[in-house]
Amino acid sequence: MSPKLFSIAEKEQLKEKMFLSGLELLKEYGMTHMSVEKIAASAGIGKSTFYNFFMSKEDFVIQLIEFNRSRFWQAVSDMLGDREKLTVAESKYVLTSIINNRDSIYQYLTPEDEKKLAEASPDKGAADIDEETETLRRLFIMFDGVRDDVDHGVVSNLLKVLALAAENRSMLHESAYERTQEKLFEMLFGCIFQEGKDG
């Protein structure tokens, strides 16, 4: 039996279906126990079809991260609409959603998973500081009230501290977690937005 040929539109739809179902599998099983078989079955395709799209499970997760990143930028663009800037309140919401987004893939990856992904993508390797800074600059162009002297390195580190706290919430005092997060966000917002710019 010859392999099924997909149109470009069908390929894109199928890929998106694999990404959406794969994200749910990642949340449920983690990367280690999210097998190619499970991804293929959840998307209603055969394992061999999966390999027509991706070289490996790691390649799938790397592309899933890019897919999620594209969805994030599209959501920010949709929120912006035809305006030049998001309000400070909207900007704070965007930053908060980066940390509290249940679809953020990194919270479901172990350090071992991240190492495997870096090995599968040597050109991307560990987090690239220049790329992080460029991402923040791109985001801040869309925000109203950003400080002229914003320190991208400090902002990036504070975002990482917030993400690490969210990922390791079980290690923190649960009764004080929300208050701790509020304090960290206050510090983050103080580093980004000019004084007197309210959210």
Nearest to 116 by CA among 131, 130, 126: 126
What tens digit of pLDDT does each residue of 109-149 get? Answer: 888 888 888 888 866 544 555 677 888 999 999 999 999 99
Judge if 61 and 91 occupy the same domain: no
The answer, yes or no, to whether residue 196 has pLDDT greater than 80, is no
Judge if 180 and 90 occupy the same domain: yes
Task: Note whether residue 91 is domain-resident.
Answer: yes
Nearest to 142 by CA among 63, 72, 88, 199: 88
Q: Final residue of a domain: which of 72, 104, 120?
A: 72
> How far is CA 170 from each of CA 73, 78, 145, rounded to the nearest angstrom?
30, 34, 35
What tens digit of pLDDT does each residue of 49-100 get? Answer: 999 999 999 999 999 999 998 999 999 999 999 999 999 999 999 999 988 8
The answer, yes or no, to whether residue 198 has pLDDT greater than 70, is no
| Stretch 155-177: mean pLDDT | 90
Judge if 123 and 62 occupy the same domain: no
> What total number of domains does the chain contain?
2
Judge if 148 and 191 occupy the same domain: yes
The answer, yes or no, to whether residue 36 has pLDDT greater than 90, is yes
Whole domain around residue 193: which residue ranges?
85-199
Do residues 50 and 3 make contact, with C-beta atoms less than 8 angstroms apart?
Answer: no
Task: Note whether residue 1 is domain-resident.
Answer: no
Task: Note whether residue 103 is domain-resident.
Answer: yes
